[in-house]
Copies of this chain bind each other. A is one copy, B any other.
Amino acid sequence: MEKVTMADVAKAAGVSKSTVSQYLNNRFEYMGEKTKQKIEEAIQTLGYQPNYIARSLKQKRTSMVGIIVANIMHYFSTEVSRAIEDFFHQHDLHAIVCNADDDPEKEKKYIEMLRAKQVDGLIIFPTGQNNELYESMMKQDYPVVFMDRKVQNLPVFSIVTNNQESTYRAIQQFVKKGHQRIAFAVQPLKVSTRTERFEGYQQAMRDAGIEINPDYIIESDILGMSHKLEKLFSLEERPTAIFAGNDRVFLEVVKCLKDKGIKVGKDIELVVFDNIPFAQVVETPITFIVQPATEMGTKAAELLFEQINKVERKPEEFVFPSKLV
């Protein structure tokens, strides 16, 4: 059981291995009807299952692509991954999702592992700290698409959103409503998404002629964030509005506000970059900056698919608009 190989099928059907191979690859053009039937039957009775590994070794394609997400705990990552998987599933490829946990070392390890496994291409949410590695893949013309975050000085395909602009508009909206004490909470400014959002904030404040209070800028990893937020909300002059850099930051902010008994919508206004499924349907008035995750994922998949199929195309950056909701 289970060790039935193509040779067994061939023998059972009274043909040669190559004929069976033809059959399996749907090259029926020159195949006799009776041969076809015999093979079919042999496969049935033997319960034959082709071994894709052997095929891959020969064809040098595995029909697998890798997705390396920066952090799987973001809802955005899930949505994007799902779109990518859907696309590839329709094209008979499969996607492996790996989680780099925002760790450049882990990212490197996964890239190497996936390449050793001969995956046909990679979609990466880059940590941005592995430039040499990214570069070497480019040099070898290995199919890669970068997602969400930009990489420096490299001609690559990438899919991003207009972080700066939409943050700018969100802050502008706060200002229009009369807010002056606007806080900004974000994880360490090491990746383009965060710096761009921060620039949007700064620009909007500048344009509104509001001086930025350094106390209102919270830059911290998730672990340390609640502590800093606690200090922020204990200030004499508490902010009246706050921008949360993504869904995880948002959770910290909401937790902290709850602890301090500060009511969202009443005592403070809140905007968050990213979609939070449940928050969307709840009474609490929160503004979301929503990225078109599905479209972004699909586009990335398409671009990767093209590269895998050797379609010529110059590397390009695709900017998708996020929207205030």
Contacts and interface: CB of A to CB of B under 8 A. Distances in A.
Interface string A76-115: 0010001001000000001011110000000000001101
A278 B255 CA distance: 9
Nearest to A55: B116
Contact of A116 (B51, B96, B115, B279): B51
A258 interface: yes
A54 to B, nearest CB: 6
A284 B279 CA distance: 11
Contact of A281 (B115, B118, B258): B258
Given A53-B57, A251-B277, 7 more contacts: A49-B116, A51-B118, A53-B56, A73-B82, A96-B96, A251-B281, A258-B283
Which of the listed residues A64, A97, A251 has the most CB atoms from chain B within 10 Å of its own CB?
A: A97
Interface residues of A, number: 44
What is the copy number of this chain in the assembly?
Answer: 2
26 contacts: A1-B139, A49-B116, A51-B57, A53-B53, A53-B57, A53-B62, A54-B57, A72-B78, A72-B82, A73-B82, A85-B99, A94-B96, A94-B98, A94-B113, A94-B117, A96-B97, A250-B278, A254-B281, A255-B281, A258-B281, A258-B283, A277-B278, A278-B278, A278-B279, A282-B282, A283-B284
B282 A52 contact: no
Interface string A270-296: 000000111101111000000000000
Interface string A55-67: 0110000101000
A309 interface: no
